[in-house]
Amino acid sequence: MKLNGFKEYLYDNEKSKSTVGSYCADVNQFFNYYKKDIADMNKVDVKEYTQYLLSEQFSIKTINRKLVSLHQYIDFINDIQHSKIVVKIKQLKIERQNFINDMLDISSVRRIVRAAEKEKDVRAITIFFTLFYTGARVSEMLQIRVRDIDRDSIIINGKGNKFRELLIPKKLKHQWNLYIKSRINKSDYLFTGIRGAITRQTVHNTIKYYTGQARGIDKKVAHAHSFRHLYAQSLGKLGINQVIIAQLLGHSLNVTGNYMQVSKRELLEIINKLDFREGYI
């Protein structure tokens, strides 16, 4: 059989179980297509096989994996069976395109919040406010403590273990003070449940639940990072330039960007203009 020994060869090369399964399936597919002796394979055959995969409407990522699988198989044939197959298998190049998949819009956020308001779920409402008004990642939001609720800015540990300041608009501080009245006091962290500080999964489940309750919103686009995208988009619609948005999101700035940064006071003035209930002011 053509794949005899190939699976063991992959395991010997420390491939994971799922990778081994994918590579073997890919090579089987290749042999269903290629009816000649693999020892005779040349660059034209590789090109035609690639065109075949494209015609079958596989994604570029999947095609590249299948080509890697074939490359691994040829290495196996050459190493173990001492064959001398000399053929280059090049992956397809992908031009980076900064497309964003469908995402939450401002009207969807309003509906999700209304669904939480209908059930008087103050914690859920406050989670949505916090994500929208700060653009924070979930891991960053869950670092906020009770002692922070009246501050204009909070130091958090961001992506890449880098510390940054999270700026807090007045509307969010007002919501935090409403939430604190009904909050379960099981932890120093702001967002808690009956077992203490909540987890990323609780946030995820909360978003999905109220998206379902709001009806008509695709749950695929309703996740915490969608709020971060919406935060950036909302600032853009206020006419804020990209450097300042990057500054608020905690992204690294190039040298030019560093010169274009604005003060904390100016940034607070900017984010205080955000209001998902009234639209973009």
DSSP character string of 98-125: ----S---HHHHHHHHHHHHHTT-HHHH
Q: What is the CATH number of the domain that holds 29?
A: 1.10.150.130
- Flag whether 97 is in a domain: no
Say how many domains are in the chain.
2
267 and 170 belong to one structural domain: yes
Token pair of 151 as six digits = 């501050």
In angstroms, the Cα distances linking 252 to 9, 20, 181, 243, 281 are 43, 38, 37, 10, 27
Query: pLDDT averaged over the chain?
Result: 85
| Maximum pairwise Cα distance, the chain | 76
* CA–CA dist 244, 236 (Å, integer): 10
How far is 197 from 145, CA to CA, in rounded Å? 10
Tell me how far apart the alpha carbons of residues 19 and 86 are, in angstroms, rounded to a whole number.
Answer: 24
For residue 1, is it within any domain?
no
Domain membership of residue 178 (yes or no) is: yes
pLDDT above 80 (res 258) = no
What phi and psi, each to the nearest 5 degrees, are found at residue 167? -90, 140
* Alpha-carbon dihedral sign for residues 121, 111, 203, 181: negative
Q: Tell me if 189 is assigned to some domain.
A: yes
Q: For position 257, what pLDDT does the model report?
A: 37
Residues 250 and 197 grouped into a single domain: yes
Question: What is the four-CA torsion angle of 142, 144, 145, 147, rounded to 10 degrees?
Answer: -170
Q: What domain range includes position 39?
A: 6-80
Whether 99 is in a domain gets the answer no
Contact 171, 164 (CB under 8 A): no
CB of 228 closer than 8 Å to CB of 137: yes
Residues 201-255 have pLDDT tens digits of 999 999 999 999 998 888 888 888 889 888 888 888 777 777 777 778 876 544 3
User: Is the Cβ–Cβ distance between 72 and 10 less than 8 Å?
Assistant: yes
**pLDDT digit string, tens, across residues 142-184:** 999 999 999 998 888 888 787 788 889 999 999 999 999 999 9
Both 118 and 204 in a single domain?
Answer: yes
pTM: 0.60
Do residues 262 and 146 both lie within one domain? yes
Looking at the fold, whether 74 and 152 belong to one and the same domain comes out as no
Mean pLDDT of 64-82: 87
Contact 245/228 with Cβ under 8 angstroms?
no
CA distance 100 to 138: 20
Question: Domain check: are 25 and 164 in the same one?
Answer: no
Identify whether 69 is part of a domain: yes
Calculate the alpha carbon distances from 235 to 124, 170, 232, 253, 256 in Å: 23, 16, 5, 17, 20
Query: Same domain for 195 and 230?
Result: yes
> Is 85 a member of any domain?
no
One domain, residues 166 and 201? yes
Do 173 and 227 lie in one domain? The reply is yes
